[in-house]
């Protein structure tokens, strides 16, 4: 049994190999009474760990009231290039994720569980497949579990795009003007939660709400898994107590102790200034800074880096990764990338581009078929604010020292040769 105030919780017993079902059951005591789990889940205050921080109980209650053949969808796609937390969780404690998915299915009356892992990550696919087979050999009654392997793309992990793929093999986000919105596979209502959220449900089902709330803060309870990348000794995945100072989180990852900025929440998130790293890592402390934990990414940028070049690389990649099914994605995001490139190159074109960027952000925000454009707008506005000094240097024709270096810190898969584009 895990003591209430110890870490790790989600990674308890984790090694370089996934825990077998037998080892999992030895590590965690048998699950409690699922019939009372809804009350425990509500009291726990668990919010989704995929980025939106939507209360898990509200999702359950919404789906409980629906009729038809219901599904629980476990989102393990991890479209964020800087994120590795769900992959790590599914490669170490996959049965904890499956426990939580089964509990959710029982609460909403779902007959099937769909586990979704990108086919581009065959190691994780193998681990999940093996875990499902172990459970199937027990011949236990309950919802059926199916493994699905969509192709990896950033938007493929958006919940409505994932359900769309399960329904008709297209990874396209669905237009949802009103949220919360019931997603459907065929005519069946589907509840979508990411792998970390499901694992937390599995823990709450065993140990209850009071145990869960022994870590974290009043408004943001529990622990959270964070992918730490950028200017670090090596990219790492950590489980931390919510409310831990960000400086302590970075120190645990061997990060630059005096960074220029830290990107929080992933590529649809925003930048924390280097002089703010003692801020607690929880939503209530970050909200006054227009920040959030988001998708559980902390990307560290050192002082010698050029923030505006890094911003251009990310926005160009995000524009490339869009579904291109609405104007803000098809035209707005490439235009943002082009304007940022003009700023990097400086001169009169750059001065005009910086003025255009604000207008474009205002036009794009809130008009997309999904939240992808809004995330890019958030990132652009934050970059303009935090890296104002870099921008000024570029506009007056004196690029910062980071611009003259070939070293880059943010992972951008599609841009192996971005230097040719920037300085051609």
Q: CA-to-CA distance for 414 and 280, rounded, in angstroms?
A: 33
Give CA torsion, residues 156, 157, 160, 161, to 10 deg: 0
Same domain? 60 vs 161: yes
Rounded CA separation 280/300 (Å): 16
- 130 and 139 Cβ atoms separated by less than 8 Å: no
End-to-end CA distance of the chain: 60
Q: Could you give the count of Cα atoms lying within 13 Å of 177 in the half-sphere of its Cβ? A: 1
CATH of the domain at 312: 1.20.1440.230
Nearest-angstrom CA–CA distance, 167 and 73: 12
Distance CA 226, CA 295 (A): 8
Structure tokens at 379: 């990132």
Nearest to 247 by CA among 280, 284, 214, 221: 280
pLDDT of residue 327: 85
Q: State the DSSP H helix or E strand holding residue 229, giving kind and residue range, or none if neither.
A: strand 223-230
Cα-trace Rg, the chain: 22
Q: Which of 235, 268, 301 is the last residue of a domain?
A: 301
Per the structure, the complete domain to which residue 390 belongs is given by 307-423
Q: Are residues 292 and 412 in the same domain?
A: no
**pLDDT tens profile 56-111:** 999 999 999 899 999 999 999 988 888 999 999 999 999 999 999 999 999 999 99
| Banded model confidence at residue 5, pLDDT cuts 50, 70, 90 | very low
Tens of pLDDT, residues 288-312: 999 999 999 999 999 999 999 999 9
pTM: 0.92
At 179 the pLDDT is 59
Whether residues 117 and 35 share a domain: the answer is yes
Higher pLDDT, 125 or 28: 125
Give the number of residues written for the chain: 424
pLDDT score, position 371: 83
- Mean pLDDT within 234-243: 94
Phi and psi angles of residue 231, each rounded to the nearest 5 degrees, phi first: -80, 70
The domain boundary residue, chosen from 212, 239, 259: 212
| pLDDT value of position 137 | 80
State whether 108 and 183 are in the same domain: yes
Q: What is the pLDDT of residue 142?
A: 77
Claim to verify: residue 41 and residue 132 sit in the same structural domain? yes
Give me 250's structure tokens. 């970075």
3-class secondary structure, 114 = strand
Q: Which of 301, 329, 363 is the last residue of a domain?
A: 301
Tokens coding 182: 């019931």
Tell me: do 132 and 266 sit in the same domain.
Answer: no
Residue 160 clears pLDDT 90, i.e. is over it = no
Q: Where are the alpha helices (DSSP H) in 262-366?
A: 283-286, 307-320, 327, 333-345, 347-364
With bands split at pLDDT 50, 70 and 90, how would you rate the model's confidence at 121?
Answer: very high
């Amino acid at each position: 049994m895990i003591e209430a105030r110890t870490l790790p919780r989600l990674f308890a017993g984790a090694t370089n190999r996934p825990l077998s079902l037998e080892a999992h059951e030895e590590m965690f005591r048998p699950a409690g009474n699922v019939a009372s789990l809804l009350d425990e889940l509500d009291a726990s205050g668990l919010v989704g760990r995929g980025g939106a921080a939507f209360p898990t109980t509200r999702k359950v209650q919404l789906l409980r009231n629906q009729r038809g053949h219901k599904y629980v969808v476990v989102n393990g796609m991890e479209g964020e290039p800087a994120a590795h937390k769900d992959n790590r969780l599914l490669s170490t404690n996959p049965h904890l994720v499956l426990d939580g998915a089964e509990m959710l299915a029982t609460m909403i009356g779902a007959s099937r569980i769909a586990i979704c892992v990108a086919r581009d990550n065959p190691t994780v696919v193998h681990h999940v497949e093996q875990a499902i087979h172990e459970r199937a050999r027990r011949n236990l009654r309950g919802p059926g579990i199916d493994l699905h392997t969509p192709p990896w793309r950033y938007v493929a992990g958006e919940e409505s795009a994932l359900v769309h793929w399960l329904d008709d093999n297209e990874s396209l986000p669905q237009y949802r003007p009103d949220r919360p919105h019931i997603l459907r596979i065929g005519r069946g209502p589907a509840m979508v939660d990411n792998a970390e959220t499901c694992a937390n449900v599995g823990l709450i089902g065993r140990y209850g709400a009071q145990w869960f709330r022994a870590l974290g803060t009043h408004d943001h309870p529990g622990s959270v898994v964070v992918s730490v990348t950028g200017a670090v000794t090596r990219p790492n995945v950590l489980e931390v107590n919510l409310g831990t100072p960000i400086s302590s989180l970075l120190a645990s990852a061997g990060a630059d102790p005096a960074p220029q900025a830290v990107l929080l929440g992933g590529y649809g998130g925003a930048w924390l200034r280097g002089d703010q790293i003692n801020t607690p890592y929880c939503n209530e402390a970050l909200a006054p800074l227009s920040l959030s934990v988001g998708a559980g990414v902390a990307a560290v940028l050192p002082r010698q880096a050029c923030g505006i070049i890094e911003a251009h690389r990310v926005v160009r990649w995000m524009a490339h990764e869009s579904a291109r099914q609405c104007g803000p994605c098809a035209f707005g995001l490439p235009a943002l990338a082009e304007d940022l490139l003009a700023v990097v190159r400086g001169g009169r074109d750059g001065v005009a581009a910086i003025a255009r960027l604000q207008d474009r952000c205002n036009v794009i925000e809130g008009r997309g078929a999904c939240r992808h454009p809004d995330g890019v707008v958030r990132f652009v506005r934050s970059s303009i604010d935090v890296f104002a000094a870099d921008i000024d240097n570029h506009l007056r024709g004196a690029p910062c020292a980071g611009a003259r270096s070939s070293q880059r810190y943010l992972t951008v898969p599609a841009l192996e040769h971005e230097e040719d584009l920037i300085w051609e």
